[in-house]
Amino acid sequence: MINLTDAYDEQNIFAKILRGELPSHKLYEDDATLAFMDIMPQVAGHTLVIPKQPAVTFLDLTAEAAASVMATAKLLAPAIIKAVEAPGFMMAQLNSSYAGQTVPHYHMHILPRHEGLELKFHARDPEDMDVLAALAEKIRAEL
Ligand code: AMP
């Protein structure tokens, strides 16, 4: 259960990815943010942008960190939709378990959308690692 009042858990999955203790299909990194492929994508190209600031939800983010996440999303979104030839996309972020948040490190989802293509279930079916690696390469090539 993730509550809005929770202290930051240094052992959460994204903290481990930031420390390099867990692998990720990295798309972009700068001083303030990291962007990588979601391993249980709801659609091809599903990307996560996270701040390096240890923040559980939007409420914990500094305004600067929030701006950095948006700047990285602004850089990534055109590359993602070009790579998967999507005519639209969604950006979403969930705050607390009550909103569906499952990882207690703030993150922005970027989800390409296509006509007639429903999103798969949230955080349920792991994608093949080779498929993710190939998609990541395609997106990086558009940056
Ligand atoms: P949320 O439910 O908004 O907290 O979203 C967490 C997202 O992280 C989900 O879309 C999961 O599929 C994704 N996810 C969980 N573990 C990993 C991981 N190790 N690498 C990349 N994405 C992950």
Domain ranges of the chain: 30-142
Looking at residue 30, the DSSP 8-state letter turns out to be -
Cβ atoms of 2 and 56 within 8 Å: the answer is: yes
Give the whole-angstrom CA distance, residue 22 versus residue 143. Answer: 24
The mean pLDDT value for 10-37 works out to 98
Whether 123 has a pLDDT exceeding 90, the answer reads: no
Does residue 107 have an active-site annotation?
yes
What is the whole-number distance in angstroms between the Cα of residue 94 and the centre of ligand 1? 11
pTM of the model: 0.97
Q: Give the HSE-up count for residue 48: Cα atoms under 13 Å, Cβ half-sphere.
A: 27
Whether 20 has a pLDDT exceeding 90, the answer reads: yes
30-142 carries CATH number 2.60.40.420: no
Query: What residues does ligand 1 touch, defined as CB less than 6 Å away?
Result: 13, 22, 24, 38-40, 48, 94, 100-103, 122-123
Catalytic residue, chosen from 25, 46, 107, 109, is: 107
Give the whole-angstrom CA distance, residue 19 versus residue 38. Answer: 17
What is the whole-number distance in angstroms between the Cα of residue 39 and the centre of ligand 1? 7
